[in-house]
A and B are shown apart, each in its own frame.
Chain A
Amino acid sequence: SQELEQSPQSLIVQEGKNLTINCTSSKTLYGLYWYKQKYGEGLIFLMMLQKGGEEKSHEKITAKLDEKKQQSSLHITASQPSHAGIYLCGADMGAGNNRKLIWGLGTSLAVNP
């Protein structure tokens, strides 16, 4: 099973609508990263969250890490066609020599004009 679960797997919304993407783990997340990827291109860094309850915003995108540091949500307000792409979450898990970076499978977002 996937250590980092993303939901939904894909999403189609009408332009102007709000949406939320979730990233969930059964273990504590020491650092949670959100990236966006256009098909056939590299990953663009959006935000990093480290502290429980932390919330960050970039333009119309807000990401939050819950108090238990096991789930993060990415919220897009008033979606635009430019928001379309694949959103991936990555997380630092473990500590010291056991630390590793793991990845969700991504959420594909389409925004219809």
Chain B
Amino acid sequence: DGGITQSPKYLFRKEGQNVTLSCEQNLNHDAMYWYRQDPGQGLRLIYYSQIVNDFQKGDIAEGYSVSREKKESFPLTVTSAQKNPTAFYLCASRNGGGRETQYFGPGTRLLVL
């Protein structure tokens, strides 16, 4: 089955802790994206990557970091600098940089203890 997987489904973070959210796709898509979803605010872009070993900041990158060492993987680290990390995080991928459809993973809900 082709698709996007995200893990874990729920993640708990303690104060001052960095946590990493996993995103893997087997669609052979070039571009991958991380979004944050909060009630009433819609989807906001955190980081995106158009190609391996390259990524760009989105609209709300502060307090987050990413890597793109492999085409199929785009992990997101929520650092201790992110003061309000509680949200639903969605990973997406897209084939190429044209007007292709973005496909989404099932999401990870991050909660602060």
CB contacts (< 8 Å) of B107 on chain A: these are 40-42
Across the interface, A106 reaches (CB within 8 A) one of B42, B104, B106, namely B42
Task: Write out the residue numbers on chain B whose beta carbons fall within 8 Å of the beta carbon of A40.
Answer: 88, 107, 109
Q: Is B90 an interface residue (CB 8 A)?
A: yes
Please determine whether B99 and A103 come into contact, CB atoms closer than 8 angstroms: no
Which chain A residue shows the least CB distance to B58?
A100
Question: Does more than half of chain B's interface fall in helix, strand or loop, or is it mixed?
Answer: strand
- Cα of A105 to Cα of B42 in the assembled complex, Å: 4
| Any A CB within 8 A of the CB of B8 | no
Q: Is the CB of A42 within 8 A of B99?
A: no
Report the separation of the CA atoms of residues A41 and B90 in the bound assembly, to the nearest whole angstrom: 9
| A residues adjacent to B (C-beta < 8 A) | 2, 30-31, 33, 35, 40-45, 48, 50, 88, 90, 92, 101, 103-106
Query: Looking at A33, A41, A88, A92, which has the most chain B CB atoms within 10 Å of its CB?
Result: A41
- Asked whether any CB of chain A lies closer than 8 Å to the CB of B43, the reply is yes
Residue among A31, A33, A41, A42 facing the most chain B CB atoms (10 A cut-off): A42
Q: A40-B88, A40-B109 are in contact. Are A45 and B103 (CB under 8 A)?
A: yes
Question: By the criterion CB–CB under 8 Å, are B90 and A42 in contact?
Answer: yes
| Contact between B104 and A31, CB atoms less than 8 A apart | no
Bitwise interface map of B from 71 to 113 toward A, beta carbon under 8 Å scored 1, else 0: 0000000000000000010101000000101111111010000
Q: Are B102 and A42 in contact (CB under 8 A)?
A: no
Contacts A35-B104, A42-B104, A88-B43 supplied; 12 other A-B pairs, CB < 8 Å? A31-B99, A33-B101, A40-B88, A40-B109, A43-B90, A43-B92, A45-B101, A45-B102, A48-B99, A88-B42, A103-B43, A106-B42
